[in-house]
């Protein structure tokens, strides 16, 4: 049986208002079951990375943030960060011209699935740390107003 010639009749068109269900969101384990670990990596005398991550059951990384800070006007200022807030791995590029904007421009990297999300988070922590260590001067330049 093939298509009938001509325009489809009312009621024969697909209902485009029907959407697939939203995927289940990634949920963190209860905080009392996690251990928060903080650290830092020196980049120069005036630049560093500060890290924070949550381990669940002593081995599963379930949440992280890697913040790039620069010393400006005698204090540490956040320049960029990669984190897993809002169920996505994403990078924030902040701007010296907008110090009150804590989010800056957000670049999505990957959604964190409900099932096996910790595997995505764990993989992205290592990738993000490497990315921040390799690109810190680029992010600092963007914070200062240099164009990409």
What's the confidence (pLDDT) of residue 104? 94
pLDDT for res 19: 81
pLDDT in tens, 97-120: 888 889 999 999 999 999 989 999
The whole-number pLDDT of residue 2 equals 62
* Per-residue model confidence as pLDDT tens digits over 35-46: 999 999 999 999
| pLDDT, mean of residues 7-14 | 69
**pLDDT averaged over every residue in the chain:** 90
> What is the reported pLDDT for 3?
66
Q: What is the pLDDT of residue 25?
A: 85
Q: Which helix (DSSP H) or strand (DSSP E) does residue 92 occupy?
A: strand 88-93
Q: In sequence order, what are the residues at sequence separation of 6 or more whose Cβ sits closer than 8 angstroms to the Cβ of residue 105?
A: 92, 93, 95
């Amino acid at each position: 049986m093939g298509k009938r010639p001509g325009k489809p009749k009312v009621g024969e068109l697909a209902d485009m208002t029907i959407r697939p269900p939203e995927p289940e969101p990634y949920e963190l384990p209860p905080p009392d079951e996690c251990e928060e670990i903080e650290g830092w990596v020196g980049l120069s005398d005036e630049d560093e990375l500060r890290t924070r991550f949550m381990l669940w059951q002593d081995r599963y990384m379930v949440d992280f943030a890697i913040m790039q800070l620069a010393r400006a006007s005698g204090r540490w200022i956040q320049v960029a960060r990669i984190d897993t807030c809002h169920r996505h791995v994403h990078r924030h590029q902040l701007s010296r011209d907008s110090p009150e904007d804590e989010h800056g421009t957000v670049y999505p990297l990957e959604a964190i699935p409900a099932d096996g999300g910790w595997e995505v988070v764990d993989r992205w922590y290592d990738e993000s740390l490497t990315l921040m260590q390799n690109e810190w001067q680029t992010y600092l330049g963007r914070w200062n107003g240099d164009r990409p």
